Amino acid sequence: MSKPYNRLDISNAAVLLVDHQTGLLSLVRDFNPDQFKNNVLALAHLAAYFKLPTILTTSFEDGPNGPLMPELKEQFPKAPFIPRPGQINAWDNEDFVKAVKATGRKQLIIAGVVTEVCVAFLALSALAEGFEVFVVTDASGTFNEITRDSSWNRMSEAGAQLITWFAVACELHRDWRRDIEGLGALFAKHIPDYRNLMLSYSAIKAANPLPKSVP
């Protein structure tokens, strides 16, 4: 059964970055390492660009999972950071749940490693508590396409929306007139072909400046 189109709302969305840890990143094989890191950082940059509440969490940092990607700590120095001592499902950690609910947001944009565990368990738990869940597929990684696809199916059937970081940005932005250069610069930073597009746009704009307004 089809569901109505419920769009991301910049005033009602929060970003949850789950277990993007240096050890766990070595398990990701459904994306190449450079591509996956680019996607994760693109999601982080758009969260900062749109000023979305963002929560960082890790699982068992002292073990083989390793510490959080340093770039995420640098991007969000003041964001809530919940280092879970052992809980696999972030929703089992009271501090994490409190941080999520403290945002006052009902739409949760979730990405993490690995997809079928750290992302899926959290997504299913949040859905059960009445949150809208948007899983960022290209900023979540796992062992292979089979495990990824099975987890996508599980989350989708439970009501999660699967979306890419680029679609998240466009759905939040809604209208290019809001800020062409700002969003364009974000896209150009993470998509080489979009860099070419923005260079072309800048050249055309320079050659054809807008007329000055009449006082």
Asked if residue 1 belongs to a domain, the reply is no
Statement: residue 213 has pLDDT above 60:
no
Asked if residue 212 belongs to a domain, the reply is no
Q: What is the pLDDT of residues 71-87, one digit of tens each?
A: 999 999 999 999 999 99
Q: What percent of the chain has pLDDT over 90?
A: 85
Annotated catalytic residue within 118, 133, 139, 172:
118
The parent domain of residue 59 ranges over 13-173
According to the 3-state scheme, what is the secondary structure of the chain?
CCCCCCCCCCCCEEEEEECCEHHHHCCCCCCCHHHHHHHHHHHHHHHHHCCCCEEEEEECCCCCCCCECHHHHHHCCCCCEEEECCCCCHHHCHHHHHHHHHCCCCEEEEEEECHHHHHHHHHHHHHHCCCEEEEEHHHCECCCHHHHHHHHHHHHHHCCEEECHHHHHHHHHCCHHHCHHHHHHHHHHHCHHHHHHHHHHHHHHHHCCCCCCCC
118 carries an active-site annotation:
yes
The span from the CA of 54 to the CA of 105, in Å, is 11
Instruction: Taking residues 114-127, report their average pLDDT.
Output: 98
Asked if residue 87 belongs to a domain, the reply is yes
Asked if residue 6 belongs to a domain, the reply is no
Instruction: Identify the CATH number of the domain in which residue 62 sits.
Output: 3.40.50.850
Is pTM beyond 0.85? Reply is yes
| Overall number of domains in the chain | 2
Q: Are residues 117 and 81 located together in one domain of the fold?
A: yes
The span from the CA of 72 to the CA of 86, in Å, is 21
Tokens of residue 175, six digits? 């209208």
Q: Are residues 160 and 188 located together in one domain of the fold?
A: no
Asked if residue 214 belongs to a domain, the reply is no
The span from the CA of 84 to the CA of 52, in Å, is 22
- Other C-beta atoms closer than 10 Å to the C-beta of 178 total 11
Q: Are residues 116 and 76 located together in one domain of the fold?
A: yes
Q: Are residues 161 and 114 located together in one domain of the fold?
A: yes
Asked if residue 105 belongs to a domain, the reply is yes
Asked if residue 127 belongs to a domain, the reply is yes
Statement: residue 147 has pLDDT above 90:
yes
Q: Are residues 166 and 107 located together in one domain of the fold?
A: yes
- With beta carbons less than 8 A apart as the criterion, state whether 81 and 93 touch: no
* Predicted pLDDT of residue 214: 36
Q: Are residues 169 and 181 located together in one domain of the fold?
A: no
* Beta-carbon contacts of residue 40 (< 8 Å; ≥ 6 apart): 17, 20, 69, 72, 111, 139
Q: Are residues 156 and 180 located together in one domain of the fold?
A: no
Q: What is the pLDDT of residues 163-191, one digit of tens each?
A: 999 999 999 999 999 998 899 999 999 99
- With beta carbons less than 8 A apart as the criterion, state whether 143 and 29 touch: yes
Instruction: Taking residues 147-176, report their average pLDDT.
Output: 97
Q: Are residues 122 and 183 located together in one domain of the fold?
A: no
Q: What percent of the chain has pLDDT over 70?
A: 96
Q: Are residues 187 and 111 located together in one domain of the fold?
A: no
Statement: residue 56 has pLDDT above 70:
yes
Q: Are residues 19 and 112 located together in one domain of the fold?
A: yes
The span from the CA of 109 to the CA of 54, in Å, is 9
- Where is pLDDT greater, at 42 or 2? 42
Statement: residue 107 has pLDDT above 60:
yes
Statement: residue 215 has pLDDT above 80:
no
Asked if residue 19 belongs to a domain, the reply is yes
Q: Are residues 131 and 183 located together in one domain of the fold?
A: no
Q: Are residues 31 and 123 located together in one domain of the fold?
A: yes
